[in-house]
Amino acid sequence: MHSLRTRLFGLWGLSLLACVAVGFLLLQLYHQSTDAQVGRAEAVIARACDLIRDRYGFYATGWSGPRQGQPDVRLRSDLATAVGLALGNQDGVEGGIWQTGTGPLAYAFPTYQGTGPKTDLPTAERDQIRAVNQQAARDEQFVDRHATFGSQTLLLYACPLPGPIAGLTAWTMTRVQSVRGFQPLQLGLGVLLAMMLLMSAWLGRTLLVWGRHVRGIEAALRTAGASGMPTVERTGERELDQIIDALNDAGQRLAEARRQADSMTARAARAERLAALGRVAAGVAHEIRNPIAAARLQGENALAGNDTRRRDAIGDMLEQIDRLDALVGELLAMTQRAEPNRVSVDLAAFLAQQVARHKETAQTKSLAISVRDAAGTAVLDPALIERVLDNLMTNAIRHAPDGGAVILSVDRRPDLLSFIVEDSGAGVPPEMTDRLFEPFVTGRPDGTGLGLAIARELIDAHGGRLVLRSPGTACSGAVFAVELPQEAEWQPS
């Protein structure tokens, strides 16, 4: 169980089980108490019937019986006296003597709690008294009978009376009141039911209220966007409000931290731009200073020399001016992004042209240039990709040793097309890997360090990336990759 709702339902179920268990125990206790009372009462009325039998036996000793016909008044009085003596100490027990065919001969209830002695046979129980006596006379054995009426149990007991008068039976009767145990039981069960219903209602309300508040908190947190966590309204529930206060406080701290982070990011970006601008400015100043110094020197030579020397000096000055013009063109290429013109290109023919363009330069170093996996077509800007690959191939040929190799390959994936250029040179020095694509970063004394920077800008304009996949080791050269998003299905040729 991992949720509050499950725990509350579990608590409700346990409380219900507890109520059922307590009610069951109370019922069992009630039944056991009633059964014990009935058992004791049975023993009492059986003993009382034996006492009547003994008294009658003592009375009938040496007596030949009444004259024929109906029992006389004296006999009835004597039998009633005998029954009264037998039941004198039996609390709550009434009884008498019954004769088959005649009916009651004697009745006594000496422990009756009402006003005055009770001498009349109970009318409501007369039929049951007759039935139990008739059965005892017929079977000539003891007979007991129970009857439950509402909150009491009626117990009857009858036994045959041997003697000079035929068809006589003694009977006793008592009542076991269950109201004393039943009323507390009803009260206890009612209290348990009320508590269970109250607890169920309370738990149900708690589940509904907490569920509504939790859904509200969840909905509020779901609206959190880039601006940070929203402010959640308090619910009035102490525990939930403590959580909400902690969330709101955390949201405020997060918003403040984000503002500070954004400020620091802006300052860092500004510092990085200034640093990059400083590096570019230093690189431009360095690259421009050398041609200007050379042109200045040639100009001085032209002023101090003869016509032949002036012509040579002016030629050198024009060469330095061309160098400055090329540098300015490269700088402009970095700042002016051209929109790519994408068309469907046959990769095999396209890469064959790249190899042919560099074949003569490669032959001067006895380099082997090969193309791998150049099958199918792709949608790209051939002029833009050609400039990038031309830069990468030129660098690869320049850094590959004599007799080495340059490999141009294609890597096709479902959503990515990669042109990979690798050489067998010494690789990129470790100190240059982090700044390799920055302007004016170069390992050659005569290089401007703008080639890779311009190539990356061109690939960025194409929506792709130019990355250094491997700087190279002593056994293998650098590996550059031009990664372009796949924009169309390609068909193998």
In DSSP notation, 386-441 reads HHHHHHHHHHHHHHSPTT-EEEEEEEEETTEEEEEEEESS----GGGGGGTTSTT-
CB 423 within 8 A of CB 405: yes
380 phi and psi, to 5 degrees?
-160, 175
For residue 480, give the nearest of 413, 425, 404 by alpha carbon: 425
pLDDT of residue 203: 73
**Which residues are 96's β-sheet partners?**
107, 171
| pLDDT score for 396 | 83
Q: What is the pTM of this model?
A: 0.39
What are the backbone angles phi and psi of residue 101, rounded to the nearest 5°? 90, -25
Residue 445 has a pLDDT of 54
Low-confidence ranges of the chain (pLDDT < 50): 1, 179, 488-493
Q: How far apart are CA 79 and CA 93, in angstroms?
A: 17
Assess contact for 383 and 473: CB atoms under 8 A. Answer: no
Please give the distance of CA 270 from its chain centroid, rounded to a whole number. Answer: 45
Secondary element (H or E) of residue 194 = helix 179-222
CA distances from 361 to 358, 394, 401, 449, 479 (A): 5, 9, 13, 21, 20
Q: Are 470 and 479 in contact (CB under 8 A)?
A: yes
pLDDT at res. 158 = 94
Residue 318's pLDDT is what? 78
The string of pLDDT tens digits covering residues 68-100 is 555 678 888 888 888 988 888 888 899 999 998
Instruction: List strand residue ranges (DSSP E) for 304-403, in order.
Output: 343-346, 368-372, 377-380
